[in-house]
């Protein structure tokens, strides 16, 4: 039992759903962060792990950029380098890494493809994944042309949700190029402990590739301390930016040993001394190709400022308390939850098995509650973000109670 889990139980007692009158105690963040987000006025928006809502400040920055684009496009174009550097600098602070290890790309999926492409995966080598490795970092290993690389899928050990370190250990050997995991899995809400996985990979000369799309911005991340070689993520979730933009982090050590699988005029140039040769930037910018989303960049910079201002530790405490309240309330309703109860094994996502996710989602939406309904996974998912409060969670629980009262418990979960 970790210290995290001890605190978990204490907070559960204080903030448990049974004591709903304590709502203000859940609000670790000043109210101004909630009022930054217009959606909170009318709706319990619990889909921040899909698409974070636009804040006033992000909308304002984007609107200002649109104005500049209309009246002074050259000025808008001139802002590219400054804005991209500003995003890189803020991400570096948030993720515990140097800005020189960060490339800004068009999303986590692109970053994963670049990460897989830059690894020297020869026929006969292998990559180790588990059931929670997201498609964006699994599929790139499976394209024709990489047929010779064996994809080893680790069993779901002790949790039944994801591989434990022992399950990974059984598969990693000296032919392993990478252990490829998703820090927090969008379907289960399960969170891996990254450091032991990094140690395991490194002990065999392999790298760890970690998708941090569902953790960056909501739980403290220190890529350098955790020994992460390659990490990728997306702006539009817990980093409060717009869609269509993301990042790849490649450690300095790896940058010194690798090339770039995709190149463009931003990250490479012809060697002036020998124009038949290509020179790559020495830092992670070598992975940046052409003109990125000029519209998205200042928007994301502003979103990152909000996250930094609130502070990830405070966001984490806030989200933890909301998730705790949600789990207690779901317990009271007799609903089974997939997301682990241990604090150290989850972040901001609560995944609930549901037989008719879209129907349930529509029912809740009518009552002002927005969440993810995923028929293929037979689940609904409620995400607690920095802009949510205890009332949002209670609206969800009340909505679920109304659904059960109207249609019976079995309409959500068969017993
Ligand atoms: C873990 C994870 N990785 C990747 C993605 C996709 O990100 P993008 O659309 O930026 O490629 C998502 C969500 O959509 C996700 O939850």
Q: Is the CB of 233 under 6 A from ligand 1?
A: no
Q: Give the Cα separation of 388 and 46 in Å (integer).
A: 8
Q: Is the CB of 392 under 6 A from ligand 1?
A: no
Look-up: residue for tokens 């994809």?
151
Q: In the prediction, which pLDDT does 6 show?
A: 43
Q: Give the Cα separation of 349 and 17 in Å (integer).
A: 17
Give pLDDT tens digits for 16-50.
444 444 454 456 788 999 999 999 999 999 999 99
Contacts of 242 (CB under 8 A, 6+ apart): 54, 58, 62, 235, 236, 293, 295, 296, 299, 300, 303
For atom 1 of ligand 1, the residue with the nearest CA is 213
Q: In the prediction, which pLDDT does 159 show?
A: 86
Q: Is the CB of 55 under 6 A from ligand 1?
A: no
For atom 14 of ligand 1, the residue with the nearest CA is 50
pTM for this entry: 0.93
Q: Is the CB of 296 under 6 A from ligand 1?
A: no
* Cα–ligand 1 centroid distance for 237 (angstroms): 9
Q: Is the CB of 215 under 6 A from ligand 1?
A: no
Nearest atom of ligand 1 to the alpha carbon of 234: 10
For atom 12 of ligand 1, the residue with the nearest CA is 213
Bridge partner list, 232: 211, 248
What's the helix, strand, coil split of the chain in %, to 5?
Answer: 45, 15, 35
For atom 6 of ligand 1, the residue with the nearest CA is 108
* Cα–ligand 1 centroid distance for 289 (angstroms): 20
Ranges of beta strands (E only) in 256-415 are 268-271, 274-280, 349-353, 369-370, 372-374, 379-383
Averaged pLDDT score across all residues of the chain: 93
Q: Is the CB of 186 under 6 A from ligand 1?
A: yes
Residue 415 pLDDT class (50, 70, 90 cuts):
confident
Q: Is the CB of 101 under 6 A from ligand 1?
A: no
Q: Is the CB of 108 under 6 A from ligand 1?
A: yes
Residue pair 349/339 in contact (Cβ under 8 Å)? The answer is yes
Q: Is the CB of 214 under 6 A from ligand 1?
A: yes
Give pLDDT tens digits for 54-67.
999 999 999 999 99
- Are β-strands 268-271 and 274-280 bridged in parallel, bridged antiparallel, or unpaired? antiparallel
Q: Does 1 score more than 50 pLDDT? A: no
Q: Does 167 score more than 70 pLDDT? A: yes
Q: Is the CB of 133 under 6 A from ligand 1?
A: no
Output 145 or 8, whichever has higher pLDDT. Answer: 145
Q: Does 2 score more than 50 pLDDT? A: no
């Amino acid at each position: 039992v970790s210290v995290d889990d001890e605190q978990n139980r204490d907070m559960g007692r204080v903030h448990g759903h049974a004591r709903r009158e304590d709502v203000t105690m859940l609000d670790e963040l000043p109210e101004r962060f909630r009022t930054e987000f217009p959606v909170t006025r009318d709706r319990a928006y619990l889909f921040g792990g899909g698409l974070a809502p636009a804040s006033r400040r992000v909308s304002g920055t984007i609107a200002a950029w649109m104005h500049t684009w209309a009246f002074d496009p050259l000025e808008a174009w001139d802002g590219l380098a400054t804005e991209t550097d500003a995003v890189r600098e803020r991400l570096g602070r948030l993720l515990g890494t140097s800005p020189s290890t960060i490339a800004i790309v068009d999303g986590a999926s692109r970053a994963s493809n670049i990460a897989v492409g830059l690894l020297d995966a020869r026929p006969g080598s292998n990559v180790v994944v588990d059931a929670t490795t997201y498609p964006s970092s699994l599929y790139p290993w499976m394209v024709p042309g990489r047929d010779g690389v064996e994809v080893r899928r680790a069993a779901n050990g002790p949790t039944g949700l994801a591989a434990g370190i022992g399950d990974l250990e059984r598969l990693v050997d000296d032919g392993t190029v990478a252990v490829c995991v998703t820090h927090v899995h969008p379907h289960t809400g399960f969170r891996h402990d990254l450091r032991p996985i990094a140690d395991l990979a490194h002990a065999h000369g392999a790298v760890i590739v970690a998708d941090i799309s569902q953790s960056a911005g909501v739980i403290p991340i220190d890529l350098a301390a955790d020994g992460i070689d390659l990490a990728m993520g997306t702006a539009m979730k817990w980093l409060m930016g717009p869609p269509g933009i993301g990042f790849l982090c490649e450690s300095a050590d790896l940058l010194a040993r690798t090339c770039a699988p995709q190149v463009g005029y931003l990250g490479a140039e012809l060697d002036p001394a020998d124009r038949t040769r290509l020179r790559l930037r020495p830092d992670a910018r070598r992975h940046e190709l052409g003109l990125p989303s000029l519209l998205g960049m200042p928007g994301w910079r502003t979103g990152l400022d909000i996250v930094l201002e609130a502070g990830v530790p405070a966001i984490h405490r806030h989200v933890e308390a909301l998730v705790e309240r949600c789990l207690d309330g779901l317990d009271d309703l007799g609903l089974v939850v997939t997301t682990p109860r241990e604090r150290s094994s989850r972040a901001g996502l609560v995944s609930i098995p549901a037989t008719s996710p879209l129907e349930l989602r529509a029912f809740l939406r009518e009552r002002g509650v927005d969440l993810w309904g995923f028929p293929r996974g037979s689940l609904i998912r409620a995400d607690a973000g920095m802009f949510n409060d205890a009332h949002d969670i209670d609206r969800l629980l009340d909505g679920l109670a109304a659904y059960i009262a109207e249609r019976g418990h079995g309409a959500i979960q068969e017993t």
